[in-house]
Structure 1
Amino acid sequence: MDMDKEEHAARSARQPRDVLENRDAMDSIERQKEGWANDAYEQFVQNGGLERLAGIGKPLVVPTDDVLDTILRNANVDPPWIMLRKEIGSNMAKVIQLLDKTPAAPEIDALLSELNKQIIELNALAPSRSLHRHLISRHNVREQYQRWYIK
């Protein structure tokens, strides 16, 4: 019998959620917040705020491209493939400087190898095949740099 009483007490014990949540109080707070937001909006309208909005009377521009690209562009952040393209350009300039100073330097081949890995990655990230780049070598690095970065 004692076991039944303990079981009944355990079942009828209030759950933590019931103790911590007072639905009426929470609903009242939410209505109060909503009232404040409505009051702020009404005051904004009465003070002529809608007439001073940027772009009033102009059609909305709904982006149709990639959502992530749009968000990055609005935040003034370049997409990853553009940042990689810039890095490739500065690394190509370093290779050209090394070729001008010491054409037989062994680090040039290591830099070219790393650059070609970056170009392969760029080609995988770029949104269009027209943005893909050819692999480079000691023989074509100047030509490719001129084509890609000097316009």
Structure 2
Amino acid sequence: MQKKYLTKAQALRKLQRFCAYQDRCHSEVRSKLIELGVYGDTLEEVMAELIVERFLDEERFARSYVRGKFRLKKWGRIRIKQELKMRKISAYCTKKGLEEIEEEEYMACLRAILEKKISDYTRKYDDFTAHQKAAVYANGRGYEFPLIWEILREMRSKV
């Protein structure tokens, strides 16, 4: 089967719809263009046009990505940073994106995760092991160990 090549105008229209549906990063758009058979100068021209028309904005992508992953999936900052780095998002845009997470909301989310996991684990394990397993779980979701231990110490002092 012969591959159909798109003109610049066709590729631009397709990618405008692709980017309008949800915020995309440059690497996703570049991959989509290559998948559609658009290469070289045409690819770069379409990318430039999308940026000029504000269909493609890495800072906006980083901000919406951080909001979504934190609020919906309850990921921590470490995991979010790793995912943005995999998508080749600049350090500046990553920093701007992480500003979307308010500290109080972040700590409340971490506290809720730890409380839930501790209550799940105390059915099977002693308190020390339950706390340790909850800490490992929270770290696996991308939360920082110093914050995890700070909240665990607070929780222990209240008991």
Q: TM-score range by the shorter chain?
A: under 0.3
Q: TM-score, normalised by structure 2?
A: 0.23
Q: TM-score, normalised by structure 1?
A: 0.24
Larger radius of gyration, structure 1 or 2? 1
Higher relative contact order (Cα pairs below 8 Å, separated by 6+ residues): 2
